[in-house]
């Protein structure tokens, strides 16, 4: 009987690993590349199932999914975005405002489908295991559901754009959410003409990806890594990510 190494027995085969890392590195926040083609129900079901299999603290599963195909609802959300986007622009310097206004920051009406992932802050019976010290773990858990959906969407060739420039209270009113349900992520979904080589904000010069080697610390903040081999490995994996 072959001896198990304890290192690779549970690893995915190389093509599957490569597919996962490809989805991570090629995932994009899509705003301007949406096509009108509808998302097939079976594909959307797979994406929602992937989101529902996200980890959650205390297994509370605080998420719900609002599938929004109503043009009227989307128009109301879009009007809310336009107002909040103008408010957002005014918070930057005059020069930065010009760059800001050139950016397209949503695809609410262009995408064939919108999806709101919510967090029910009352979910769970009594105290939730693991949430007794950090009450926001329900929000953190819902973010993991968003990420699951986003990576699955990339694997399916579906673009996703997160619209964060919204007043959450007014969005909750538009979507008729109960008081304890928070609209955590408003997403635009659809097939796209392309996935950009770089994130939109990096390509436009708004911000660039920070070097990974500057973000990994040793046993305390800003302490050097004791493992020189890890430092070299970090430099090696970071090279393909450089613009």
Share of the chain residues as helix, strand and coil, in percent rounded to the nearest 5: 40, 15, 45
**Which stretches within 91-188 are classed as H helix?**
94-102, 137-155, 168-174
Q: Which domains does the chain have, with CATH numbers?
A: 26-208 (3.40.109.10), 209-243 (no CATH)
Whether the CB-CB separation of 139 and 184 falls below 8 Å is answered with yes
Q: Cα(58)–Cα(113) distance, rounded to whole angstroms?
A: 31
Q: What is the pLDDT of residues 182-221, one digit of tens each?
A: 999 999 999 999 999 999 999 999 999 999 999 999 999 9
Neighbour count for residue 151 (Cβ, 10 Å):
20
Residue-wise pLDDT tens digits, 28-58: 999 999 999 999 999 999 999 999 999 999 9
Reply yes or no on whether the pLDDT at 27 is more than 70: yes
Helices (H) and strands (E) in the chain, counts: 8, 4
In this prediction, residue 5 carries a pLDDT of: 59
- Is this model's pTM higher than 0.95 or not? no
């Amino acid at each position: 009987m072959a001896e198990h190494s304890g290192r690779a027995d549970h690893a995915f085969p190389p093509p599957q690993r490569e597919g996962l890392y490809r989805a991570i590195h090629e995932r994009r926040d899509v705003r301007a590349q949406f096509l009108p083609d509808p998302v097939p129900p079976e594909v959307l079901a797979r994406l929602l199932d992937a989101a529902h299999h996200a980890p959650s603290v205390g297994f509370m599963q605080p998420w719900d999914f609002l599938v929004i195909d109503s043009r009227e609802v989307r128009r109301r959300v879009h009007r809310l975005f336009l107002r909040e986007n103008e408010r957002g622009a005014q918070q930057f310097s005059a020069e930065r405002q010009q760059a800001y206004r050139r950016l397209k920051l949503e695809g609410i009406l262009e995408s064939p489908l919108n999806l709101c992932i919510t967090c029910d802050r009352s979910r769970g019976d009594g105290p939730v295991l693991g949430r007794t010290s950090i009450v926001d773990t329900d929000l953190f858990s819902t973010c993991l559901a968003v990420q699951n959906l986003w990576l699955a969407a990339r694997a399916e060739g579906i673009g996703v754009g997160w619209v964060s420039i919204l007043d959450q209270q007014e969005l909750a009113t538009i979507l008729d959410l109960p008081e304890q349900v928070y609209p955590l992520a408003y997403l635009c979904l659809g097939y796209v003409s392309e996935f950009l080589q770089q994130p939109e904000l990096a390509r436009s010069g708004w911000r660039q990806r920070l070097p990974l080697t500057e973000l990994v610390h040793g046993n305390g903040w800003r302490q050097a890594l004791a493992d020189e081999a890890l430092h070299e490995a970090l430099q090696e994996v970071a090279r393909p990510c450089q613009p």
